[in-house]
Structure 1
Amino acid sequence: MIKKRKTSRYTEVYALGQHICMSAHKARRVIDQIRGRSYEETLMILELMPYRACYAILKLVYSAAANANHNKGFNETSLIISKAEVNEGMTVKKLKPRARGRSYPIKRSTCHITIVLKDISLDEELEIAKTKIYNLDLRNS
């Protein structure tokens, strides 16, 4: 299940994937490679990595970019992954039947993945506007 979380900053867009059936350790191995990279570079990296976690993370990155494009009108070429985190979800416990009427427990771990995309073109415009206002204040005082 993929959810979108609202944020107070208007340059960031969230995508949240919950109850993904893999361990958090294996998902972190992939997330650590894409944190801080651009959107296009992330897509290339995820398509070439041989891990099973890449598919779920690729879907989340696509979803976050679609949220950015549709909800806020951001351009996909100016997006970077500002924050990416993996948290442990609940553990699904099952019983596997064995010989002579016994059963062994099986624990399926899940994880929650959060991807935050940030539009760097808007940050540059904000910095320029702040410096202009700061310079005007210095001139007036």
Structure 2
Amino acid sequence: MAEEKLEARAIQKHLRRSARKVRLVLDSVRGDKVHKALKKLEFTRKGAAPEVAKVIKSAAANIRDKFQEERLDNQDLYIKEIYADEGATLKRIQPRAMGRANQIRKRTCHITVVVAKKEEELV
């Protein structure tokens, strides 16, 4: 029988921030251990940092819930994948002079986080 991989994911959909701005935060924590990434996000001065931290905490809780027989702590887990995709764009109109109008694009994104347990390397 195939062995289950010790990994879980969490997805935050329709976050009202552009994916481009969220990716700046995601790049700083990609590949880190979960406890180190959360500490780093606590001191990051970007608006998306609390939202990213919330998704990472959710993914860590999901892996603990999925594999309850394992004793998993944030020091044992690392961020295997983390990325932001573009979501739906809300289109609004801003009136301008002489009957014209400009289009305003209110962008959204989807954040996906996959956490896994770090496997010990045999020497």
The corresponding residue for 1:111 is: 109
Normalised TM-score (structure 2): 0.84
Q: Distance in 1 between matches of 2:6 and 2:63?
A: 9
- Relative to 1, partners in 2 of residues 1:9 and 1:89: Cα closer, same or farther, differing over 3 Å? farther
- Relative to 1, partners in 2 of residues 1:112 and 1:119: Cα closer, same or farther, differing over 3 Å? same
If asked which structure has higher relative contact order (CA below 8 Å, sep 6+), I would say 2
2:47 maps to a residue whose letter is R
Per-residue CA deviations over 1:66-100 (Å, capped at 9, x if unaligned) read: 11122223332200001111111111101234456
- Does structure 1 residue 63 correspond to structure 2 residue 58? yes
The structure with the greater share of residues assigned to helix is 1
Structure 1: give runs of 5+ residues left out of the alignment: 1-7, 129-141
- Does structure 1 residue 14 correspond to structure 2 residue 3? no
The corresponding residue for 1:131 is: none
Contact 2:33 2:74 in 1 (8 A): no
The alignment yields a C-alpha RMSD, in angstroms, of 2.1
Equivalent pairs, count: 118
Q: Please point out which of 47, 50, 53 is paired with 1:52.
A: 47
Which of these two proteins has the greater Rg computed from alpha carbons?
A: 1
Structure 2: give runs of 5+ residues left out of the alignment: none
Report which stretch shifted further, 87-96 or 29-38.
87-96
1:31 maps to a residue whose letter is L
Runs (4 or more) in structure 1 with deviation over 4 Å come to: 98-102
